[in-house]
Structure 1
């Protein structure tokens, strides 16, 4: 009986070893694929960074890179540098694709930009995403500037601030209901001339969509 038990035990060990080896080989042979965004040649892409907000066109794309035309309005004194992080928006019919990427290089001869292929892409339906106005007039703080909400959605918000803030700037947004600040990008900042003193209407895009709205 002891011999039989030993044989059964050895058989169980062998089977377990085979199963583990198969799982390891399966993992090695089938690496997890990185998500790839499909933009299409000629797609218009909006780049938001501390250097400002610019428009480019997609020249080409592959599994690792997105090749863009020279950004419109980019001044020579404010070039993009390799390693800079940008926030990108691409309209796709009724959808708005948003993602973060890193500048890999800028072609010296042409001025073209090359971005890394993002690992995560957000999709927002601009036609049905609800912008809630019940927050209008409630206090909000953007970095050190205290202002008022105009509206809010899962993707972003519009606020009124007493000071100008540069488009493309990353900011931290706070309001009463939050425990932690929400990271966001400044999409646009325009003066409201009817106001005295002049205040600024600011559009914000949250880095990650809010839940529970």
Structure 2
């Protein structure tokens, strides 16, 4: 799990990178929760997602947004963090120029940033959105949502109400050609405390099916 440093819009960004096991391996980028609420690339959910993609042979990158850990810069209300994510994806693509697929996964604030990146980068073929903060941030930019993906939510999330995420999923599901798989983890809070394995089980199940479809 080599440490990497790459250039971002406001200076150096710190990351961890696992190179894929196969030639032309698919790529995946992981995005962490809110920098001002303790979010880092070492968040347990982000690490679990990273490990899951790495086990599947993906070239995977997780990194710290500006002002977190050894990443330079200061928090920028999401605008700068979106630019950081774009730079991270650029770096990932530079080292994997022939990747057949590109996936993005984010938790909470990272899910919001990931969905914005999805709108800007047509090469992203799928997404994993864990507890997207639909009650805190505007997701109306997803018009239309350009790729299918998975949304996972804790049924007992007291930070992001289930109803707000369900409303977002219903809106996206009305779009032609797009399939949003929505999974609830019963009893789980926003951080899936004690239930991360169960949450990752849903991700595993979804990717098993989604990746077979894209390979067919």
User: TM-score, normalised to structure 2's length?
Assistant: 0.21
Structure of larger gyration radius: 1
More helix by share: 2
User: TM-score, normalised to structure 1's length?
Assistant: 0.21
